[in-house]
Structure 1
């Protein structure tokens, strides 16, 4: 019994960390966080994403385990479609912000910067959307597990996702700090590439 619990914990953590680095997760958070130049803001965004992703999965797991309620397949399908639309929106918004920043730099002194919104909860909702969109394979494990093992697996999986995204935030935050010091032109070109990549991935996600 103890070996089974340990296996559930180990597998849940491993799969959770790996799942956090899914391309749609990384692209969404990178695109959303790109305009931030401080590591702590990016880490906050990553943490909120992890809370949203893990929180919605745990809620869905509790509903399935104790009430037997499962989201209809059409709902998860459209949630996945919405992920693609979100990627297109975030990419387009990033390019628009970059364009506005270029115009702004001609009209204002270069040391004047817009303050980040410290109460932005968008990453929380982005994480929740990703959690709903990818919930089907995880919730399908219930028939093969005891209820306690199932809920433990989801909890550890969610912690693994949070840890994985937090690690990504740490790396991406360090990259942002470094790029901003290298030069504004390089940072702008990489931002353009990120925005276009997000739009491309989102378009592929919707059409596939």
Structure 2
């Protein structure tokens, strides 16, 4: 049976995971992928695969770092955060370029692979904070593994809910104008936020 203290830690991890999934850079990145389909199932799965990629990276790096008693250097963490900005700009520009071709059946898109890779990159960027958070809440390597796993489950649920909501408008219309417009909007937002993110993290890195 799970002890009360550990149960509280796991509930905290799940709640934080849901909250973590809705951070702007995560939502914007996944939106550039999920907005390319009119199928609700594909839109929802984009969030699931993002969460799986995110969790896989955190488990690999987080548990290893906690077990070894190491922290990720601040300059490395900042560099990884900067790379997230680069990714957002790339996703946005790519979305603008493909905004006239809305994905319907997945033949021209490695849909879930892209979502998984985005999750992996976000996991790399967030690994430093996760190591610190886990180190302050878990007492053993086993508890660290459970905490990150439950945190990951929270991110999957949070992003699943968001991408499902993103896909709902497509259930009430058969017009392509809406998905194309949504693709363009999310793509432009991704570029602008990515540039802002790069500026913010770059300022911290070179200061």
TM range, normalised to the smaller chain? 0.7 to 0.9
Gaps of 5+ in 1: 103-111
Pairwise CA distance, 1:17: 0.6
Pairwise CA distance, 1:70: 3.7
Tell me the residue number matched to 1:122: 114
Question: Normalising by the residue count of structure 2, what TM-score does the alignment of the two structures yield?
Answer: 0.84
RMSD across aligned positions (CA): 2.4
Question: Normalising by the residue count of structure 1, what TM-score does the alignment of the two structures yield?
Answer: 0.83
Is residue 143 of structure 2 the alignment partner of residue 149 of structure 1? Answer: yes
Flag the 1:18–1:119 CA change in 2: closer, same or farther, 3 A: closer
Rg comparison, structure with higher value: 1
Taking the aligned partners of 1:23 and 1:165, their CA distance within structure 2 comes to 12
Moved more, 21-30 or 41-50: 41-50
Gaps of 5+ in 2: 201-207
> 3-state DSSP class of the match of 2:55?
helix
Is residue 176 of structure 2 the alignment partner of residue 175 of structure 1? Answer: no
Tell me the residue number matched to 1:94: 95
Pairwise CA distance, 1:27: 0.5
Tell me the residue number matched to 1:193: 185
Tell me the residue number matched to 1:28: 29
Aligned positions, number: 196
